[in-house]
Amino acid sequence: MTNFEPDYCGYCGHELRDSDLAPGASVCDDCERYVFHSPTPGASVTVVDGDSVLLVQRAVGDDAGQWGTPAGHVDWGEAPDAAAARELEEETGLAVDRRDLTLVAGRGTWPVEGKHMVAFEYAVHRGDTRGSLSAGSDAKDARFWTTEAWDEADERMRAVTKRRYGTTDTGEIAERTRTELD
């Protein structure tokens, strides 16, 4: 899957040109089809345990070393809540029944470096998860953070997580999430 603007037609392989039809639309002069550069769906889940929030330290990509809520792309044919549950387990070892997830926000992000996401954001209490916390294959670390521990650490939060909550205060994130869940 790619969420970068295509240069070539996915139907016939010829070069595309910009179209005035809609923002992000291109046209293939060879097969006369329009190709749309559409947003990619993503899903995240915020897990709260009292006054702490679960964050994952990314191991790969542009934001390697930074912390954020478990998140990823929604796969073809997958429901957003199923994607959130899958990402939580892949990145942290914690499993959750997707019916226990609460949709707390749906938002689009402005295109950054040609990427445009539409995010489905879920939340759940730690008590509604099962399993042992451990960093998954694309994570360097996974742990629950309190405000005090975060403030004492020399760590960076992912920009997408900061934008979602408008803060890097993990206690405030936990409080807002508990409010959304209750």
CATH number for position 124? 3.90.79.10
> Is residue 17 domain-shared with residue 92, that is, in the same domain?
no
Residue 112 has pLDDT above 70, yes or no: no
Answer yes or no: is pLDDT of 68 > 50. Answer: yes
Residue 32 belongs to what domain range? 1-38
* Portion of the chain with pLDDT greater than 90, in percent: 54
Domain shared by 33 and 87, yes or no:
no
Residues 56 and 142 sit within 8 Å (Cβ to Cβ): yes
Q: Are 46 and 35 in contact (CB under 8 A)?
A: no
User: What rounded mean pLDDT belongs to the chain?
Assistant: 88
**What DSSP character marks residue 137?**
T
* Measured distance CA(95)–CA(49) in Å, rounded: 15
Q: How many residues does the chain have?
A: 182
pLDDT value, residue 113: 62
- Residue 43: pLDDT above 80? yes
Predicted pLDDT at 2: 52
Count of domains in the chain? 2
Lowest pLDDT segment from 16-25, 75-84, 118-127: 16-25
Confidence of residue 132 (pLDDT cuts 50, 70, 90): very high
Q: Are residues 164 and 123 located together in one domain of the fold?
A: yes
